[in-house]
A and B are shown apart, each in its own frame.
Chain A
Amino acid sequence: MNDCKGNILIVDDEKGLRLGTKRLLEEEGYIVAVAQNGSEGLQYGTTNDFDVAVIDLKMPDIDGMEVLQAIKQSHPNTVCFIATAFASYDTAIQATRIGAFGYIPKPFSPEELTYQIELGIKQRKLILDAQRLEQEREKNLLELANEKSRLNAIIKSINEGVIVINTNGALAYYNYSAIKLLGLSSLNIGENALSILPEQINEIVNKIFHSDKIMLKSFSTELSLNRQNEIFLEAACTPIPNPDGSLAGVVIILSNITEYKRIEIIKNQFVSMVAHELKTPIAAVQGFLNIIKDDSLNLSEEKKKDYLQRSSQRLKSLTDLVNDLLDISRLELKTKQKEIIDVNLCDIINSTLQMLELEIAKKELTIEKNEIEIIPLIKADFNEITRVVSNVLSNAIKYNKPNGKIFIDLNSSQNYVILKIKDTGIGMKDSERQKLFSEFYRAKNENTRGISGTGLGLSIVKRIVDSYYGIIEVDSEYGVGTTFTIKLPINPN
């Protein structure tokens, strides 16, 4: 149908008329198929989608009506004409009822025929256009329905609670998260939302309802709901404008911020502890200086010197503390790039022991080492691993008894290098052991008197070991000794 005016089927048992019509219509630019009797017409018409068919009513084998009916059944969009010399009003009505578009009385002039065929072609176009439009409309509706249900599915499945309230306070929309977060058993569209929602949210909603201008801005509030467990919600209320700028309603988004609150509390506690730990040595130094300055106390030169010495010791501890805090901060922020190299744990142990020689000698401790011959190298940051070893070793010295022992055992399994450091020191109670890796925790009892430390060392050790996906374990018996076991992956990746 692209370069021709249309596909036409002529069904007629009269040869002359058949061929004449064909020639005429082909001249006009149509493609024409001819059938010489009813059965041939029926076969052509049902197997091809013709634009227009002209069917003779009276044929010797099959009646034109029957051919018309068959064509209409298989190709309802083919525009059919009935042509007959024995026209009657009744046959015309009957043909139309079966689906004929028109009726051409015989004999017809060439003008009459082409005129009718043109009408038929127009009709065919209309039918096809209508059909195309209908298909498009159905497709659009389907897409719209899909879009709506997709949007619905998204809103229903998100973790945030969504509630929409009309300006009269009626609930217009909600999702299941909203019910869950508010701890309600149900919500119903149309019910008075303001009587159900927490007071803090109502206040904001009312503020939006009663403001003169629509402000296209969200108002947020935090609220805590006490159920089995206290949960904290953030409710963000945003006005919804109509196209004309008036207020249509308010959308409330509820988010569960319990976890953030918990972290905030921990963070605040940590900051408080840090402030306290920083202030204490400063107070001690300040106190010593006040006393040294005070002539009325008549301190001996020796005492003054002692106090200055102790002040300087406190300042050194303070510096250690600040450095430890910076290390923790770096480990937390992961800003420090690890310089990963092949690290020999055996070398680190030896150099650390050398560094701590003085302390070991002071307490007259005996060191016993047990290493396998070839210890696998680990991929790690040299300084971090040194920090781990020196911290655990210096604890084994600090908390040891005079003339005590330290056993160092270095071994390896398939995936780990395993370092055990065992001391014969004061040991820990179970309650002390459990808090060992917490920041600023230091076991305090009659045995730990005079042992200094920042309370951050093991917390840093744990963070470092964790950062390599390693394992650190503590075993301790009060009054007998403590064993630290550190397992570092040979290849952390």
Chain B
Amino acid sequence: MITDKIKKILLVDDDIDLLEQNKTLLESRGFQVITAENSEDGYKLFQKELPDAAIIDLIMEQMDSGFILCYKIKKTEHGNKIPVFMLTSATYETGFKFSTSSKEEKEWIKCDGVINKPVVIEDLLAKLENFNYQ
């Protein structure tokens, strides 16, 4: 069961509606959810709470706020061990040319996957389930 490995999830999103939706969905599946509305607070909360997974909105204060937060989390010893996903409505179709499939992109996009908005909880759970713990 995924809830054996993951108990506490950090959500960072500057859109309070989406933040509440995802919190509701995850809590209904038995997770403890902690939230932050900007990347600075998100990083502080991460350091304080050491969650078992993190889901971060891509475009917050800046176009790349999510990337930077993700990069910072992944650089920590704890962050490197847990699944970190990017949340976005920016996709290839809307002209944001990035993915995490190529080696070059993996170099600096340190997240473990991208999730489209709105979140479909089953897809998110499947992604968490498939995360390869080392």
| Known contacts A297-B28, A444-B60; is-contact A272 B119 (Cβ 8 Å) | no
Query: B residues within 8 A CB of A284?
Result: 15, 17-18, 21, 117-118
The answer to whether the Cβ of A196 comes within 8 Å of any Cβ in the partner chain is no
| Known contacts A288-B17, A450-B16; is-contact A283 B117 (Cβ 8 Å) | yes
| Known contacts A283-B89, A444-B61; is-contact A291 B24 (Cβ 8 Å) | yes
Query: Quick one: which of B17, B24, B59 contacts A314, CB cutoff 8 A?
Result: B17
Can you list the 5 inter-chain pairs with the closest CB atoms, starting with the nearest?
Answer: A287-B118, A272-B95, A275-B94, A283-B117, A279-B89
Q: Mark B32-50, 1 if CB is under 8 A from A, else 0.
A: 0000011000000000000
Q: Report A's interface with B, CB cutoff 8 A.
A: 268-269, 271-272, 275-276, 279-280, 282-284, 286-288, 290-291, 296-297, 299, 310, 314, 444-446, 449-450
Q: Report B's interface with A, CB cutoff 8 A.
A: 14-18, 21-22, 24-25, 28, 37-38, 59-61, 89-90, 93-96, 116-120
Q: Is the CB of B119 within 8 A of A276?
A: no
Q: Is the CB of B38 within 8 A of A444?
A: yes
Can you list 10 A-B pairs with a CB-CB distance of less than 8 A?
Answer: A276-B59, A276-B94, A279-B89, A282-B89, A284-B15, A284-B21, A284-B118, A287-B17, A288-B17, A449-B37
Query: Quick one: which of A272, A283, A297 contacts B96, CB cutoff 8 A?
Result: A272
Query: B residues within 8 A CB of A286?
Result: 118
Interface residues of chain A: helix, strand, loop or mixed (majority): helix
Q: Is the CB of B89 within 8 A of A291?
A: no
Beyond A288-B17, A291-B24, 5 additional pairs, beta carbon < 8 A: A279-B94, A280-B89, A287-B119, A290-B120, A297-B28
* Interchain CA distance A147-B128 in the complex, whole Å: 78
Instruction: Among B18, B89, B93, find the residue whose CB has the most chain A CB atoms closer than 10 A.
Output: B89
Query: A residues within 8 A CB of B61?
Result: 444-445
* Interchain CA distance A268-B95 in the complex, whole Å: 8
B95 to chain A, nearest CB (A): 3
Residue of A nearest to B87 (CB): A283
* Interchain CA distance A14-B8 in the complex, whole Å: 143
Residue of B nearest to A286 (CB): B118
